[in-house]
Amino acid sequence: MTDGRALQKGSALLLPAVLFGLLVAAQWTTIATPGVQDVGIRYIDPLAAAVNRLQDEQASLKAQLAEVRAKLDGVQRAASAQSGAAKDVQAHIDELRASAGLTEARGEGIVVTIDALRPLGAKEPERQVCLAPDLTDVVNVAWMAGARAVAINSERVVAASSVYCVGATIVVNGSIVAAPFAVSAVGSAPSLLAAIDDPAQLVDLKRRRDQLAVDMRVTRSPLVTVAPYAGPLGARSAKPQ
Amino acid sequence: MRSRAGVLAVTATALFLGVLVVSQFRSREAYSRTLRQETPEQLTRLIADLNDRNRQLRSEIFDLRLALDAAQSAVASGRGSLETSEKQLAQLRVFSGRSRVTGPGVGVRVEGQFDERALSDLVYELRNAGAEAIAVNDSRVGPRTWFGPGSSGTLVVDGREVRGPWVVRAIGDADVLYVAMTRTGGIVGQFEVIYSRTRFTVGRESTLDLPAVGGT
């Protein structure tokens, strides 16, 4: 009888003990997790501020570069009127600048907008996805369809263009571009639309769009404006032969 | 009447500027929010990349200011600015892929199954590592180059079928390009898993000669 009572008492204590154990474990996890994150989180704000400061500095440097280029262009253009040889060189420079993406391009075309989709119930879209390969795939299709000029947001795509992700942040031509990402292409709108709609093109992107993993919209426009390339041209290793 | 039109014009301009400022602010806000989701390591990489780009921009501004001074002096002394123009022309020909170029770099040889998306990714990876000029076999990659699928054993570059094995040659800092290609988890490592029967060979080259766009 005494043993039975002791067993009953023991059983009665078992449930509260398990619950207490679970509570202690849960509390331990709650305390431990922010401690681990704090070490990293501590540096995020000052590092993000440094990125913003450098991006602002870059915008200012690009404006200065555009100003010096325009001044030099003005001097050369005025001087080219003085001799036939200089006039020919200037005409060649103008043609190369246009074909290399150093002048603004306007005309009919399309804009393909890509962004990560917002998960159900979330305030912000899911940004931890690298969309750079999708952007380069769209750029490739645009060139294939005969586009005259292409840009990702305000960054013109040229022969030396870089497009990559650092985490989910996309860097084009050494400059951070913000979501949503817009690939603007100047060229024959019907040809560009046909290429984008071709089932053999952008297979992976369209599959993820259909699975609601990514938002992709295509807009035809009678006037697409693509900004000129604003970065450096100087080559350090490649020399003309 | 005139003052009413003036008020309307000022209002429209103010509205336009307001929209511009707000859209600029929103754009900045959008990537600032993304930045706060990155890790300290990723933010440090962004800082290094932005610093590098800003250094290139400063160097280019410095060179162009010297060229501007030289051109202004030459014009003022009646010599014209032909010399400055010819230097600029040579630089543009390299930048646009319209001249043959030479320099150090790397070669990536691909023997076996491969596709146009992977080739495009490889070219972008080389550009991301700072390649200044790239060619796939004898086809120079230009400002509007595109890649497509070809018939068996070939890929299409700018409408021309290019038969494998493919050798992608890139001029730039050979050490930087080599590390970018061969680092653990890098693009070649990924290809070796995905195209397990394909052989990828990466080599540093002290001198590469690349053709101009169009093969001239």
CATH number assigned to the domain comprising residue A130: 3.30.70.1880
Report the 10 Å Cβ neighbour count for B85. Answer: 26
Nearest CA in chain B to A101: B143
Predicted pLDDT of residue A34:
45
Across B106-129, average pLDDT: 97
pLDDT 10s digits, A122-159: 655 555 688 999 999 999 999 999 999 999 999 999 99
Note whether B26 and B106 are same-domain residues: no
Note whether B110 and B47 are same-domain residues: no
CA torsion, ordered B204, B208, B214, B215, to nearest 10 deg:
-120
Question: Which two three-digit tokens encode residue B206?
Answer: 């002290």
Please tell me if residue A19 touches chain B, with a CB cutoff of 8 Å.
no
Report DSSP state, residue A108: E
Across B40-58, average pLDDT: 94
Identify the domain containing residue B201 by its residue range: 101-210
Strands B199-210 and B154-157: unpaired
Question: Which two three-digit tokens encode residue B43?
Answer: 């933010």
End-to-end Cα distance, chain A: 105
Across B112-117, average pLDDT: 95
Note whether B120 and B20 are same-domain residues: no
Cα separation values, B200 from B112, B168, B212, Å: 9, 11, 25
Note whether B205 and B142 are same-domain residues: yes
Please tell me if residue A160 touches chain B, with a CB cutoff of 8 Å.
yes
Of the candidates A57, A169, A238, which has its C-beta nearest B31's C-beta? A169
Please tell me if residue B202 touches chain A, with a CB cutoff of 8 Å.
no
Note whether B108 and B171 are same-domain residues: yes
Residues of B with CB below 8 A from A140's CB? 116, 120, 146-147
The DSSP bridge partners found for residue A214 are A116
pLDDT 10s digits, A90-119: 899 999 999 999 999 999 999 999 998 766
Q: Which helix (H) or strand (E) holds A163?
A: strand A163-166
Note whether B116 and B26 are same-domain residues: no
- Residue A26: Cβ-neighbour burial (10 angstroms; 0-12, 13-18, 19+): exposed
Residue B195: inside a domain: yes
Q: Mutating which of A163, A166, A192 best tests the B interface, going by the most B Cβ atoms within 10 A?
A: A166
Residue B70: inside a domain: no
Please tell me if residue A58 touches chain B, with a CB cutoff of 8 Å.
yes
Q: Is the pLDDT score of A33 beyond 50?
A: no
**B residues 109-168 near A, CB within 8 Å?**
116-117, 120-121, 124, 127-128, 130-133, 141-148
The Cα–Cα gap between B172 and B177 comes to 7
Note whether B26 and B124 are same-domain residues: no
* Greater pLDDT, A211 or A36: A211
The Cα–Cα gap between A156 and A177 comes to 12
**A residues 192-221 near B, CB within 8 Å?**
none
Please tell me if residue B56 touches chain A, with a CB cutoff of 8 Å.
yes
Predicted pLDDT of residue A6:
59
Q: Do B81 and A83 touch (CB under 8 A)?
A: no
Q: Mutating which of B23, B24, B37, B210 best tests the A interface, going by the most A Cβ atoms within 10 A?
A: B37
User: Nearest Cα to A171, choosing from B57, B43, B132?
Assistant: B43
Note whether B108 and B57 are same-domain residues: no
Confidence of residue A52 (pLDDT cuts 50, 70, 90): very high
Residue B40: inside a domain: yes
Predicted pLDDT of residue B12:
58
Note whether B31 and B109 are same-domain residues: no
The Cα–Cα gap between B142 and B44 comes to 32
CATH number assigned to the domain comprising residue B138: 3.30.70.1880
Of the candidates B30, B67, B88, which has its C-beta nearest A93's C-beta? B88
Count of domains forming chain B: 2
Interface predicted TM-score (ipTM)? 0.84
pLDDT 10s digits, B9-28: 566 556 655 554 555 555 66
The Cα–Cα gap between A76 and A72 comes to 6
Q: Do B95 and A160 touch (CB under 8 A)?
A: yes
Residue A94: inside a domain: no
Please tell me if residue B55 touches chain A, with a CB cutoff of 8 Å.
no
Count of domains forming chain A: 1
pTM given for the model: 0.82
* Greater pLDDT, A178 or B106: B106
Residue A235: inside a domain: no
Predicted pLDDT of residue A36:
45
Note whether B106 and B195 are same-domain residues: yes
The DSSP bridge partners found for residue B170 are B106, B134
Segments in A81-146 forming alpha helices (H): 84-100, 132-144
Note whether B202 and B105 are same-domain residues: yes
Nearest-Cα distance to chain B for A8, in Å, is 53
Note whether B106 and B202 are same-domain residues: yes
Residue B204: inside a domain: yes
Residue B90: inside a domain: no
Residue B92: inside a domain: no
The Cα–Cα gap between B167 and B200 comes to 10
The Cα–Cα gap between A197 and A164 comes to 25
Q: Please compute Rg for chain B using Cα positions.
A: 24
Identify the domain containing residue A214 by its residue range: 105-226
Confidence of residue A85 (pLDDT cuts 50, 70, 90): confident
Of the candidates A76, A85, A144, which has its C-beta nearest B71's C-beta? A76
For residues B147 and B186, the answer to whether their CB atoms sit within 8 Å is no
